[in-house]
Structure 1
Amino acid sequence: MEDKVKFIVEVTMFGAILIMVLTFMFAGFVGLVSNIKQKVRGNNSEMQECNSCGHQISKFSRTCPYCGRDYGSMNSVYNSIIGCILLIIVMIPFALITGLALLETFDITLE
């Protein structure tokens, strides 16, 4: 009985970690595609619309000067093609390690 509980906990943990890593990779991919799309369309404006109040603010600002909405320091990284590529590259090893550990838990061999 303890072995079954331990197995279920391990599978759940590895599955949750794998889903989290894949979510980060997907977010990086979506950011990369949207940034490339903006560059190709010629939308190279350094301004964007604030999600809260609608005023035009810098893409690299941490807070909106009008309403005070916090965009944090990751706003400029997410708007960077290089930042999105690095996010994807960093997450690939984590996804592989987690996936292989999950396969090992199920005693599945890759041939």
Structure 2
Amino acid sequence: MSKKINEISDYVGVFCLGALTLSLFVLSIMFIIKSFINIYRRLKGVKIDRMTPCTTCRRSISNTAIICPYCGEHYGKMNGLGDSIIICFLFGVGLFVVGIASLTESVEWFEQTYMN
């Protein structure tokens, strides 16, 4: 019974590492694509709208506002980082490097577990 449980936990571990590695690569590709979209917008001269309507009172507020100054609606996060070329590119490259490290570790673990 113990051997069967160990086999199942090994299969679950391999699946989890694979899913983690795949998600890291997908996120890195998404951030790199977002950085190229931002570069394209800057080259074409597309202005990123700095003002947006509040979802509650519909007054014009800043894109990076955490709380609406008119009605107090809480947004909870800043939206400006997604429009930065450097931040998106650094996140993309960083996640790609972490994905490569995760892939090499999972391959080594897989070889030690199943090849011996």
The verdict on a shared fold, with TM-score over 0.5 as the criterion, is yes
Moved over 4 A (4+): 48-57, 63-67
Whether the 8 Å contact between 1:36 and 1:81 is mirrored in structure 2 is yes
- AA of the residue aligned to 1:100: T
Other-structure match for 2:11? 8
Letter in 2 for 1:72: K
Over aligned residues, Cα RMSD in angstroms? 2.9
Q: Which runs of 5+ in 1 are unaligned?
A: none
Alignment TM-score, normalising by the size of structure 2: 0.68
Amino acid at match of 1:107: E
Check 1:103–1:45 CA distance in 2 against 1; reply closer, same or farther (3 A cut). closer
TM-score normalised to structure 1 length: 0.70
**Kindly, what percent of the aligned residue pairs are identical?**
20
- Structure 2 residue 28 is the aligned partner of structure 1 residue 29: no
* Distance apart, 1:90 and its partner CA: 1.8
Could you tell me which residue of structure 1 aligns to residue 84 of structure 2? 80
CA distance in 2, matches of 1:76, 1:103: 37
Offset of residue 96 of structure 1:
0.9
Aligned residues: 107
Secondary structure in structure 2 of the residue aligned to 1:36: helix
Correspondence list, 1:1-111, <5 A: 1-47=4-50, 49=52, 57-63=61-67, 68=73, 70=75, 72-73=77-78, 75-107=79-111
Which is higher, the Rg of structure 1 or of structure 2?
2
